[in-house]
A and B are shown apart, each in its own frame.
Chain A
Amino acid sequence: MMKNSIFNISPDRSKYPEKDAEGNLMVDLDSQKYVKLWQGPQHPGVTGNMSLELTISGDEIIQAKTHVGYLHRGFEKLMERRKYIQCFPTCIRMCVAEPDYNEYNLAAGIEELSGIEVPEMAQWLRTLVLEMARLQSLLRVVPGQGGTFALGLGVQWGVYLRDLILDLFEELTGGRVYHMYILPGGVRGLLPDGFKKRMEETLKKIDEFVVNIDNLMFSNAVFKQRAKDVGIIQPEWIDQFGIVGPNARSAGFMRDVRKDYPYLVYDQLDFEPMTMNYSDIYNRARLRWHDLIMTVDLIRQIMAKIPETGDIKAPTPNVLHWKIPRNETYIRSESSRGEYGFYMVSDGTDKPRRINLRGPSYVHAISLLEHMLINANIADTAAIMVSLQTCPPEIER
């Protein structure tokens, strides 16, 4: 962007707009220098139902505020008045894009608080479900980055393949979007006959898609022009803001729960999450594309190593009177957006005292996004938001 200095007429923003003594911007909307532009909640570029309140001067954003709460259903309150087993249908709806991490975290939390060991077969199946959830989410997100630049073709292919994965989910769990497959103590069922074969067929199609999307997006001159050097995450922000997952990895920080705190059977699988040294939109999209390849590879490994059959559920107490003594824990797993954690407190009754979800978007979509949008072009707003992979429902729950 800086190469063509003739056309680079962006004004010096260090003095204008003026700042008051505390460093806050003094924006006088009546001065007619600024326009307030709302993006969302009804806006095709915004990820889900949230809104951005942008103060713009020309095409440049000088102030951004994220507004959330349009999807607030009070899950944490609702779960406080449900029994542990009843929390499952409730908690999976907290993030619709990849619900399985919710059920895994809740089940793992209950197991840890009441000391239940999960059989090995169930652990393999859980790993499989979590990786499939990551795959279907990435199939939407990777081409979605092109979609924010009006490259809708990749989205069409990606969402179609996502439907094929959802079909496999349906076969395995009975549900298309919401599965409720993972229960405390284990999972609900074994693999159906011929599942491995059908999975391999789908994965082959995804292999093709991976090559196509590379040609369509990452070798595309216009995409490079739009995505490079835009929406940069500085490495020192990672700790300041609490950035996790792919966004942190693209800035050179190895943050992957699967490697740092191995859970389930991830220590038996061979994978190496990618890190990059420069975090702009292009690199983040590229990193997610590598994640997609890695996920496909992981599913292939799981399919090769998974035992044919085995015990899938540890004995659990009567779910109606399942009381858990007063205790607390924090459970985390790696969703496609990064560390996804449940802070759970039990109080000796049959209902949880408190379950608090810590989703990556809580940080990415509010404090980080507001910071990154300053001095950005309004044309890049949606792209920056998608490249952070924000998911509003996990912010407001």
Chain B
Amino acid sequence: MEQLINKLQKSFKLSDVKHQRENLTFVTVKKDSALDLVTHCRDYEGFSHFVLLSCVDWIEDGKFQLTYLLNNPSGKFDLGIRTFISRDNASMTSAHLLWRQIATYQRELKEMYGIDFPGSPRVDESFILEGWDEIPPMRREFDTKKYSEDTYFPREGRGSNDPATYMKSKLYPDDEK
């Protein structure tokens, strides 16, 4: 794994390398070289299995983190490639030509986070939601509880304990904090 990272380091600018486990490493690259790295890993380093494409919303930094997680089935290790894109007018190059399932991930991210992937097939069709006209729900600023209370007629008299106080009284009655 170390060797591979060193090798990749020569041609790509990797930063923030983190060896999470002996078979899982995360690296960060710039937005424009991310897909080059993914393609390189697929074609030359044996990462033939694409595990997932995920997004993390770092609202305090104003960034989305996209994670491309690749797996090398023969070497039995994973490489997570992180890249950060801006939250405003979020957009990323589409990778749907690399693996067939990426189009589905990109469709989901478009719907859930509002990240655009120009050229990805059916990316503008609704995937999970239907007739959604709010901001994309997985963004951090979307308050699901408030939306639910405003929209779905909460039943009056539903008693809900605040879990924190309830658990505190049950589990840690002596806890001071």
Determine if B128 and A68 form an interchain contact, defined as CB atoms under 8 angstroms apart.
yes
Determine if A353 and B56 form an interchain contact, defined as CB atoms under 8 angstroms apart.
yes
Task: Spot the interface stretch: B86-94, B149-157, B161-169.
Answer: B161-169
Determine if B101 and A241 form an interchain contact, defined as CB atoms under 8 angstroms apart.
yes
**Residues from 126 to 177 in B contacting A, C-beta threshold 8 Å:** 126-130, 137-138, 140, 142, 144-145, 163-164, 167-168, 171-172, 175, 177
Question: Which of B23, B24, B56, B138 contacts A345 (CB under 8 A)?
Answer: B56
Determine if A343 and B69 form an interchain contact, defined as CB atoms under 8 angstroms apart.
yes
- Docked Cα-Cα span, A209 to B88, in Å, equals 58
Question: Which of B23, B73, B104, B144 contacts A367 (CB under 8 A)?
Answer: B104
Determine if A86 and B163 form an interchain contact, defined as CB atoms under 8 angstroms apart.
yes
Instruction: Give the chain A neighbours of B73 by CB distance below 8 A.
Output: 253, 255, 260
Question: Which of A78, A81, A328, A358 contacts B20 (CB under 8 A)?
Answer: A328
- Docked Cα-Cα span, A253 to B48, in Å, equals 12
Determine if A328 and B103 form an interchain contact, defined as CB atoms under 8 angstroms apart.
no
Question: Which of B69, B76, B144, B171 contacts A330 (CB under 8 A)?
Answer: B69
Question: Which of B50, B52, B142, B163 contacts A343 (CB under 8 A)?
Answer: B52
Determine if B101 and A366 form an interchain contact, defined as CB atoms under 8 angstroms apart.
yes
Query: Does A58 belong to the interface (CB within 8 Å)?
Result: no
Determine if A69 and B128 form an interchain contact, defined as CB atoms under 8 angstroms apart.
yes
Query: Does A169 belong to the interface (CB within 8 Å)?
Result: no
- Nearest chain B CB to A382's CB is how many angstroms away? 22
Query: Does A341 belong to the interface (CB within 8 Å)?
Result: yes
Determine if B168 and A320 form an interchain contact, defined as CB atoms under 8 angstroms apart.
yes
User: Which range holds the interface residue count of chain B?
Assistant: 35 or more
Query: Does A74 belong to the interface (CB within 8 Å)?
Result: yes
Query: Does B51 belong to the interface (CB within 8 Å)?
Result: yes
Instruction: Give the chain B neighbours of A320 by CB distance below 8 A.
Output: 164, 167-168, 171-172, 175, 177
- Docked Cα-Cα span, A341 to B49, in Å, equals 14
Instruction: Give the chain A neighbours of B54 by CB distance below 8 A.
Output: 343, 354, 356
Instruction: Give the chain B neighbours of A362 by CB distance below 8 A.
Output: 101, 104
- Chain A, residues 69-103, CB within 8 Å of chain B (1/0): the string is 10010101110110101100000000000000000
16 pairs, CB–CB < 8 Å, chain A vs chain B: A68-B127, A77-B138, A77-B142, A239-B99, A242-B101, A253-B73, A261-B23, A320-B168, A320-B175, A329-B20, A329-B24, A343-B54, A354-B57, A362-B101, A366-B101, A371-B100
Further pairs besides A69-B130, A366-B101: 8, Cβ < 8 Å: A77-B138, A85-B167, A255-B73, A319-B171, A320-B175, A328-B26, A358-B51, A367-B100
